[in-house]
Amino acid sequence: MTGRAVAHRTAPLDVSAAWELLRSVRSAADAAAAGLGCDPDGRWRWRDASPEADALADRYGSLCLAGPLFTFAQLGQSLDGFIASRTGDADYVTGEEDREHLHRLRALADAVVIGAGTAVADDPRLTVRACTGAHPVRVVIDPYRRVPRGHQVFTDGSAPTLWVVGADADEAAEAGRGADERAPGPRRDGGGVGAGVEVLTLRDRAAFAPRRLVRELARRGLGRVLVEGGGVTVSRFLREGALHRLYVTVAPVLLGDGVPGLRFTGPERMRDALRPPTRRAVLGEDTLFELDLRAPRPGEPGGDENTGPGQGGDEGENPVHHGYAQPLGGAQSRRTEGPRGDALPGAPAADVQR
């Protein structure tokens, strides 16, 4: 739908049409042509739309306009902070509304990243099914080649897959190759996996650091990156300051114990805890928290670059570029509002994913 079509629309924009328009918005000019604008309070709205369509615009408008280089993560957890039961069962921690939200995030990403643990345990498809949209490139971080080659990301052919493995895991295969085939740098052979799967062998262990992985993906034209799981992988990206935004959905369910989500070394004092600008929204029975991680943390330098903690050498010299990221509409560090105008005193505790 074009800006001309929007200008002549005779009925309020519904959710389906609003989503199709949002998928095409990547610049201020795109937003204006689609009839999308930002209110003085920082919320994105359509010129003439249903309340549901406006809620969709407010939830995803800033993400659509975040620029070509943007890294975000999604987690789903129980109220007491677990992503799965003690047996690893994660079907489903959160509800159908959160599943749709996750698929919308996939549709707005160039690549979706998971770690080997999530790939082994869940055998996910990582495709867009609960809404319309193109499938992102599936990226599996698997330094030791733990993920079985029969898993769906390697066999279903639904979307391109990049299998990122380490040189140590590839040592046996390398021993049988000719000297001219053992040149340094990434290997891109199929490694016995299905069509549409590219194997990227990283010969430097430090190359698996989140910031370097993000840069490698950007070099391949995959600048908008969704980190979907699991807890270990998202924790690494968060700890090293490689995330611009984190979405956490909390379900009103108690597990008692199970598979935890985010885990990282925290501060000794509560006043030094990470308290980013935050919004919240209701997703059925669940609550979605949206955390803007671009603000400097205590003790970090200010400015546009997010030079997160725990980085060293190369990581500090080449921070993740923020593209043209838009701030969360109306978000403040102590008291914020979500798409429904719900006041949020303070910020939520650390969080998790299914």
What would the pLDDT profile of 104-151 be if each residue is shown by its tens digit? 999 999 999 999 999 999 999 999 999 999 999 999 999 999 999 999
**Measured over all CA atoms, what is the biggest interatomic distance in the chain, rounded to whole angstroms?**
68
Residue 310, number of CB atoms within 10 A of its CB: 14
Q: How far apart are CA 332 and CA 339, in angstroms?
A: 14
Structure tokens at 113: 């990243």
- DSSP-derived secondary structure letter, 13: B
Structure tokens at 150: 């029969």
User: Strand pairing of 245-251 and 70-78?
Assistant: parallel
Q: How confident is the model at residue 92 (pLDDT cuts 50, 70, 90)?
A: confident
Question: Model confidence over 292-318: pLDDT tens digits?
Answer: 998 665 555 544 444 333 333 333 323
Residue 78, number of CB atoms within 10 A of its CB: 22
Q: How far apart are CA 229 and CA 75, in angstroms?
A: 7
Q: How confident is the model at residue 334 (pLDDT cuts 50, 70, 90)?
A: very low
Structure tokens at 45: 């709205």
pTM, entire model: 0.79
